[in-house]
Amino acid sequence: MSLNIVRAFEDKEIFGRLIKKQETWSTWKVALRAIFGLPIDGEQFEIYRKFTGREKQSSQPFKEVFLAIGRRGGKSFISAIIACYLATFVSWRSQLGPGETGYVMVIATDRKQASVVLGYIKAILRLKIFKGLVVNETKEELELTNGITISVVTCSYRSIRGYSVVCAIADEVAFWRSEGANPDREIFTALRPCMANIDGSLLIAISSTYAKSGILWEASQLFGRDDPDVLFWRAGTMDMHPTFKERVIQRALKEDYSAARAEYFAEFREDLETFLSVEVIDSVIQRSRYELLYNKRWVYNAFVDSSGGRAEAMTLSIAHREAEKVIQDCIRVKKPPFNPGQCVREFAEVLKSYGLTSVTGDKYGAEWVTSAFRKEGIGYKNSEASKSEIFLEFLPLVMQGQVELLDHREQMVEFRQLERLTGRGKDIVDHPRGLTDDIANSCAGAAVLCARKPTRRLGIRRLTFGPGEENERGERGWRKLF
């Protein structure tokens, strides 16, 4: 490694060609020195101490680096610089087998998010000094002549196994889920063995801050500790990008103080907490129960989360109550793109099969939704409660074990991902940025409707099938008392 990353950053024939004012990147250059174990002196050390909390500098490159940086602080550009530097100025051939490919991975919640970093990487590799280095380019990969491939992948612990990874950039890791189908910890657990046998490999998690959960929050506990392998660096937007317009930050502080402190000052939010724990939501899921057939014994309630068919799913949940327990019977999910009118027709048929002539839902496109269901012979009632109010009323039903939910993976994940915003008057329950809660919303809505009013029909008694509650077809049996 004849040319260190800071010199390459300043060289006008290399990365410096893309930088108008080097002085505005002075704090980032200290961060790069820290990451790669380069000397830090005088004023640079004061910057290092301020943003790491450390009193000593490591003379060796770190294996893992967690950068909690304010929004618009230059994270994506620096990530691309590091990726290109390690892909082009470092020789990995001696550590790779014959014909083996080394990977620089950009990992994000989705490919659209990761494409921001990939866009910077493509721009850098178009510089004259790198001419001829790229031999194959696709939307998601850049294959280089030196045996290195730069690749964009989504944050799935299954998709990253089996590769030899020289550099991994975990983009906006604070917004990865700490629970659900691909928890952030599982992804890092899968990734580390891919890098373990490659000396000099680097794992970088770079993100704005968010809630006090997940792998970035856990890494923040290393602030001020002299760990030889892992570095945690935390700095606000203006610290890393001093020319950013301060009035934008001041306006954001007035609109939502807590959110702005996280976005621009790299502070973890005090007002966010997980709405339902994994253990609690798992305790009310009836494994291998996917749907229950209609039975005239019960009065059913239904809730729909409407959609125009372009960006979000339209969902339906039907439930009934037995004594003090609410039981979910049916889930329908129509994912975009779809024809809203056709979706309403399909949902109406399902509602009628459960003896329903009306459905409750949110106020999304109220007039259109009302008319569409009326046309199919179903009355549509606007929910009097907001989504947050429904979730908060649903919470004690779950906590007290008074609800039985169907075994539906997406519904389970949505419930696990819900967050509760506290400390601002009424609590707000919502999904994190970039995720959804359509199925969870319709489920909670139907359950709350059942809990609010009696649903028992007279003159019928339950007939069980053997020791269980259902026969082999999943039907519930009943017989008349008279």
Per-residue pLDDT tens for 29-84?
A: 999 999 999 999 888 999 999 999 998 888 889 999 999 999 989 888 998 999 99
Residues of the chain short of pLDDT 50, as ranges, are 1, 179-181, 455, 458-482
Please determine whether the domains at 5-270 and 278-456 fall in the same fold group of CATH: no
pLDDT at position 337 is 92
Comparing CA positions, the residue from 257, 94, 226, 77 lying closest to residue 166 is: 94
CA dihedral 222, 86, 209, 113 (to 10 degrees): -150
User: Can you give the residue ranges of every domain in the chain?
Assistant: 5-270, 278-456
- Rounded Cα distance between 42 and 303, Å, is 64
Q: State the DSSP string of 215-263.
A: HHHHHGGGTT---SSEEEEEE-HHHH-TTS-HHHHHHHHHH-HHHHHHH
pLDDT at position 462 is 38
The CA-to-CA distance between both ends of the chain, in Å, stands at 89
- Rounded Cα distance between 446 and 319, Å, is 6
pLDDT at position 159 is 64
CATH for the 278-456 domain, from 1.10.1040.10, 3.40.605.10, 3.20.20.100, 3.30.420.240: 3.30.420.240
pLDDT at position 184 is 80
Is 10 in a helix, a strand, or coil?
A: helix
Tokens of 372: 């569409």
pLDDT tens-digit series, residues 241-260: 999 999 999 988 888 777 88
CB 167 within 8 A of CB 198: no
Q: Please tell me the class of the 5-270 domain.
A: alpha beta
pLDDT at position 424 is 56
**DSSP class of 417:** H
State residue 337 phi and psi, 5-degree precision.
-85, 145
Comparing CA positions, the residue from 29, 30, 66, 35 lying closest to residue 50 is: 30
Beta-strand ranges (E) seen in 299-351 are 300-305, 314-322, 325-334
CB 211 within 8 A of CB 217: yes
- Rounded Cα distance between 160 and 205, Å, is 15
pLDDT at position 468 is 39
Q: In one letter, which amino acid is 219?
A: A
**DSSP class of 145:** T
Angstrom distances, CA of residue 178 to CA of 112, 214, 454 = 21, 5, 38
